[in-house]
């Protein structure tokens, strides 16, 4: 069905589902004409400085010429071929790069379409490994509250059951074990009591747990919380003692976002299984990957092949662009850029401290968070940011920013200034 040019947005509002919206009551929608660098250009000509990197993925900015060149060159040669029984150079070269740059020991790469699928594969790996080594009773996962791992059924089962977005599916999801979220912040003195909940869970249920699943050091969409790397180090030791695998969800944090190449690097920890995505392709294509150690791969192999195989697995266009994105990470100074962003976020968001609506302000790497006492009303708040010429999309009580690494000082100041301006207009909590 086609529509006239003047009617396409009306058709969108009536027929097209967008993330976390209802087609019967859609929220504000801003039509986009194009995007370049750190700017999104709306159909009406307004330009917005993107503070979200399109859900944290466009780390090099939009329409980067090197990514476009990789896409065009690969399209001329091979746009797609099934990965079952066939292989191709872009996928193999990307896998080699990932093995080299991720924590030592993650030697086997499974390509997936999205972060949620990468987490589904990670969970399957853990279950199949335990079955392969004879630990057939280990069929559950333990995970920390306030976590988010995706919207497919396995991934939903390890998202926070109370504060997450999936309460509607409670009766359908596998029942996992949830422990207290780490309370020791990354900038606080370590308190060993912070591990008590994990110790109890492993002591009481270790025999039935396949893996501990977590977002290392930074919890993303479940609360944008930062916790002490020491928690992760101690958790690794406890997992080893109880025969439990450690699954690290680095989909949001991978490729420099937290200030180190991977958040696990902040703790010097090597997980048994690690999922990456989002920034892997610099936001130009959809691609994710799940990496596993040789020990895990060998255990899985004892009971046959890993039971997963997406149709578009290792798509040549996506893997070629991902290779170019990793080239840019090495060629361009991402570490000093992220360090500068962190410093400027700290200073730029400082004014939010003490505002009536604000509960907390925190920054780590290229992540800035203003936590409010009460949830925002999106229909009211989102247009305020657009009117200020920036794209910041809050959710719940969180107004946060995760900009492209190429954002300059002036543009970042406009983003943080807009956040402080909008937050200053919000009322103090009721009661």
With respect to residue 279, please indicate whether it lies within any of the assigned structural domains. Answer: yes
Strands 177-179 and 140-144 turn out to be: parallel
Examine the residue annotation and report whether 175 is marked as an active-site residue of this protein: no
Considering the domain architecture, whether residues 7 and 73 belong to the same structural domain is answered as no
* pLDDT for position 124: 98
Examine the residue annotation and report whether 148 is marked as an active-site residue of this protein: yes
With respect to residue 303, please indicate whether it lies within any of the assigned structural domains. Answer: yes
Considering the domain architecture, whether residues 307 and 347 belong to the same structural domain is answered as no
On the CB side of 56, CA atoms within 13 Å amount to 23
On the CB side of 221, CA atoms within 13 Å amount to 21
SS3 335: helix
pLDDT band, residue 188 (cuts 50/70/90): confident
The yes-or-no verdict on residue 3 having pLDDT over 50 is no
Considering the domain architecture, whether residues 298 and 230 belong to the same structural domain is answered as yes
The yes-or-no verdict on residue 344 having pLDDT over 70 is yes
Q: Are 289 and 98 in contact (CB under 8 A)?
A: yes
With respect to residue 399, please indicate whether it lies within any of the assigned structural domains. Answer: yes
Which domain does 11 fall in, by range?
A: 1-31
Considering the domain architecture, whether residues 291 and 411 belong to the same structural domain is answered as no
With respect to residue 59, please indicate whether it lies within any of the assigned structural domains. Answer: no
Q: Under 8 Å CB-to-CB from 280, ≥6 apart: which residues?
A: 254, 255, 287, 288, 289, 322, 325
* pLDDT for position 4: 52
With respect to residue 378, please indicate whether it lies within any of the assigned structural domains. Answer: no
With respect to residue 423, please indicate whether it lies within any of the assigned structural domains. Answer: yes
With respect to residue 377, please indicate whether it lies within any of the assigned structural domains. Answer: no
Mean pLDDT, rounded, for 68-84? 98
Considering the domain architecture, whether residues 95 and 197 belong to the same structural domain is answered as yes
- Among 160, 249, 265, 411, the one annotated catalytic: 249
Domain count, the chain: 3
DSSP H helices in 5-114: 8-15, 53-56, 65-77, 89-101
Considering the domain architecture, whether residues 20 and 120 belong to the same structural domain is answered as no
The yes-or-no verdict on residue 1 having pLDDT over 70 is no
Mean pLDDT, rounded, for 338-359? 97
Considering the domain architecture, whether residues 132 and 195 belong to the same structural domain is answered as yes
First-to-final CA distance of the chain: 51
Mean pLDDT, rounded, for 361-382? 96
- Among 148, 227, 400, 405, the one annotated catalytic: 148
Looking at per-residue pLDDT, the higher value among 238 and 1 belongs to 238
Residue-wise pLDDT for 264-294, tens only, equals 999 999 999 999 999 999 999 999 999 999 9
Considering the domain architecture, whether residues 198 and 278 belong to the same structural domain is answered as yes
- Among 20, 170, 387, 408, the one annotated catalytic: 20
SS3 156: helix
Mean pLDDT, rounded, for 42-59? 97
The yes-or-no verdict on residue 134 having pLDDT over 90 is yes
Residue-wise pLDDT for 11-41, tens only, equals 998 999 999 888 888 888 999 999 999 999 9
Considering the domain architecture, whether residues 290 and 400 belong to the same structural domain is answered as no
- Among 278, 400, 405, 411, the one annotated catalytic: 278
Angle at 190 between CA 185 and CA 193, to 5 degrees: 100
The yes-or-no verdict on residue 198 having pLDDT over 90 is yes
Considering the domain architecture, whether residues 305 and 338 belong to the same structural domain is answered as no
Examine the residue annotation and report whether 139 is marked as an active-site residue of this protein: no
The pTM (predicted TM-score) of the whole model is 0.96
Considering the domain architecture, whether residues 139 and 236 belong to the same structural domain is answered as yes
Examine the residue annotation and report whether 66 is marked as an active-site residue of this protein: no
pLDDT averaged over every residue in the chain: 95
Helix, strand, coil percent values for the chain (each to nearest 5): 40, 15, 40
With respect to residue 154, please indicate whether it lies within any of the assigned structural domains. Answer: yes
pLDDT band, residue 339 (cuts 50/70/90): very high
Picking from 48-57, 188-197, 278-287, 365-374, which range would have the lowest pLDDT averaged per residue?
188-197
Considering the domain architecture, whether residues 73 and 20 belong to the same structural domain is answered as no
The yes-or-no verdict on residue 5 having pLDDT over 80 is no
């Amino acid at each position: 069905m086609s529509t006239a040019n003047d009617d396409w947005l009306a058709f969108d509002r009536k027929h097209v589902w967008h993330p976390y919206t209802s087609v019967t009551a859609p929220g504000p929608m801003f039509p986009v004409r194009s995007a370049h660098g750190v700017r999104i250009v709306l159909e009406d000509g307004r330009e917005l400085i993107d503070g979200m990197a399109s859900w944290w993925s466009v780390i090099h900015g939009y329409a980067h010429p090197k990514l476009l060149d990789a896409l065009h060159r690969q399209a001329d040669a091979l746009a797609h071929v099934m990965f079952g029984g066939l292989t191709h150079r872009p996928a193999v070269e990307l896998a080699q790069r990932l093995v080299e740059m991720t924590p030592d020991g993650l030697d086997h790469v499974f390509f997936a379409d999205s972060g949620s699928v990468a987490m589904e594969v990670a969970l399957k790996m853990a279950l199949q490994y335990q079955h392969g080594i004879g630990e057939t009773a280990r069929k559950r996962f333990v995970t920390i509250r306030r976590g988010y791992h995706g919207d497919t059924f396995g991934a939903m089962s390890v998202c926070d059951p109370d504060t997450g977005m999936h309460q509607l599916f409670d009766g359908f999801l596998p029942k996992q074990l949830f422990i207290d979220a780490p309370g020791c912040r990354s900038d606080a003195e370590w308190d060993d009591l912070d591990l008590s909940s994990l110790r109890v869970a492993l002591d009481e249920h270790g025999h039935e747990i396949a893996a501990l699943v977590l977002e290392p050091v930074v919890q993303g969409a479940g609360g944008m919380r930062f916790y002490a790397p020491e928690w992760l180090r101690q958790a690794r030791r406890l997992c080893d003692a109880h025969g439990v695998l450690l699954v690290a969800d680095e989909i949001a944090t991978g490729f420099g976002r937290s200030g180190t190449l991977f958040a696990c690097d902040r703790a010097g920890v090597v997980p048994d299984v690690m999922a990456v995505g989002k920034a892997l392709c610099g936001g130009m294509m959809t691609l994710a990957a799940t990496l596993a150690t040789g020990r895990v791969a060998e255990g899985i192999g004892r009971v046959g092949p890993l039971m997963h195989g997406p149709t578009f697995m290792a798509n040549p266009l996506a893997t070629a662009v991902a290779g170019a994105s990793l080239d840019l990470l090495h060629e361009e100074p991402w570490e000093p850029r992220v360090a500068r962003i962190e410093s400027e976020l700290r200073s730029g968001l400082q004014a939010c401290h003490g505002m009536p609506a604000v509960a907390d302000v925190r920054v780590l790497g290229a992540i800035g968070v203003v936590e409010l006492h009460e949830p925002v009303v999106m229909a009211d708040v989102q247009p305020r940011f657009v009117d200020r010429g920036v794209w910041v999309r809050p959710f719940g009580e969180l107004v946060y920013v995760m900009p492209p690494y190429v954002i300059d000082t002036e543009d970042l100041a406009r983003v943080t200034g807009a956040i402080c301006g909008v937050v200053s207009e919000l009322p103090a909590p009721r009661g």
